[in-house]
Homo-oligomer: A and B are copies of this chain.
Amino acid sequence: TDTAFTASRMGKIPMFDNRPIGLFDSGIGGLTVFKSLLHALPHESFVYLGDTARLPYGSKSPQTIERYVLQNIDFLIRKNVKAIVVACNSASTVLLGGTKSFAVPVYNVIEPGAATALKATSGKKIGVLGTKATISAKSYVRALHALDSSVQVFQQACPLLVPLVEEGWESDPITNLVVYRYVAPLIDAGVDTLIMGCTHYPALRTNLEKATAGRMTLVDSSEAIANLIAADIASGRFGASEMRSDLEIMTTDVSASFSEVAIRLMAPHVIPPLVEVDISPLAP
């Protein structure tokens, strides 16, 4: 089943490849990436894994996150996917630099987001909002400086934004106050481009536009990933699907609130039925 991938590396023209693209996140935030890919790649099938039994990753150590990430990738490869999108910034952090290799292409959300931000910035002052793990790992700082060492990066950890989205308070004035509290230092610093460095944050795009008075370009990594996948298909890295046949959402733990929030984040798409899966046989 690796034929298409191998063929492309040998320079041959790839066949169609109807296997799905896999995505995973610690929970629900990656659904904003899922939604974006559904729009951008209308022929592709997708399977989404929400590792809800172990969420959130954002507050855990790099060693623990890495163990979870490798288990999730292994699980999706056994689900016969042709490529994997790590739809979670905290999880993407441990894959930076491309030192690990897998049986299928694995996309992180950080590097495409960083590249997009660099294209967008006029004054070379880029802001990054993220979870504690993403910020303390300096993931975007490293990815940005690997591409352009002259850019200035201003980071802000925002632990309240995920629970505000999950509470469904996007339209509540309290959310605007919290968002403003977090972006105020970045406004003062003269940031012109702002990376939404957590997959929950695109749900707060309107609040962020309001708080920054529309003066910052907001970067959503999922758009960059969709473009990258389309380019890799075009260049023959792996085959395209003939038509979408399957959408699946799996979680490692059942939770009533997951489907409730999922319905909101995925609207107007109808979410497929949730399937609980056990990936624990692989746990060390």
Q: Which residue on B lies nearest to A164, using beta carbons?
A: B160
Chain B neighbourhood of A53, CB < 8 A = 60, 64
Judged by a CB distance under 8 angstroms, whether A167 is at the interface is yes
Name the residue of chain B whose CB is nearest to the CB of A251.
B61
Interface residue SS majority, chain A: helix
Which of the segments A10-18, A70-78, A89-97, A174-182 contacts the partner chain?
A174-182
Chain A interface extent, by class:
20 to 34
Whether B61 pairs with A254 at a CB distance below 8 angstroms is yes
Question: Shortest distance in angstroms between A164's beta carbon and chain B's nearest beta carbon?
Answer: 7
Given the complex of chains A and B, what is the CA–CA distance between A257 and B254 in angstroms? 28
In the bound complex, residues from chain B placing their C-beta under 8 Å from that of A273 are none
Q: Please indicate which of the listed interface residues A53, A181, A256, A284 has the most CB atoms of chain B within 10 Å of its own CB.
A: A53
Please tell me how many copies of the chain the complex holds.
2
Residues of chain B lying within 8 A (CB to CB) of residue A255: 59-61
Docked Cα-Cα span, A174 to B177, in Å, equals: 7
A156 at the interface (CB under 8 A from B): no
A59 and B55 form a contact (CB under 8 A): yes
Give min CB distance, A75 to chain B, whole Å.
17
* Interface 1/0 per residue, A123-141 and B, CB below 8 Å: 0000000001000100000
Cβ of A81 to closest chain B Cβ, rounded Å: 25
* B59-A257 in contact (CB<8A): yes
Contact (Cβ within 8 A) B160 A163? yes
Are B159 and A163 in contact, with the CB atoms below 8 A?
A: yes
Interface CB pairs A-B, < 8 A, 24: A52-B59, A53-B60, A59-B255, A59-B257, A60-B255, A61-B253, A61-B255, A64-B253, A132-B257, A136-B256, A159-B163, A159-B166, A160-B163, A160-B167, A162-B163, A163-B163, A174-B174, A174-B177, A174-B178, A174-B181, A177-B177, A280-B283, A280-B284, A283-B283
Binding site for B on A (CB under 8 A): 52-56, 59-61, 64, 132, 136, 159-160, 162-164, 166-167, 174, 177-178, 181, 253-257, 280, 283-284
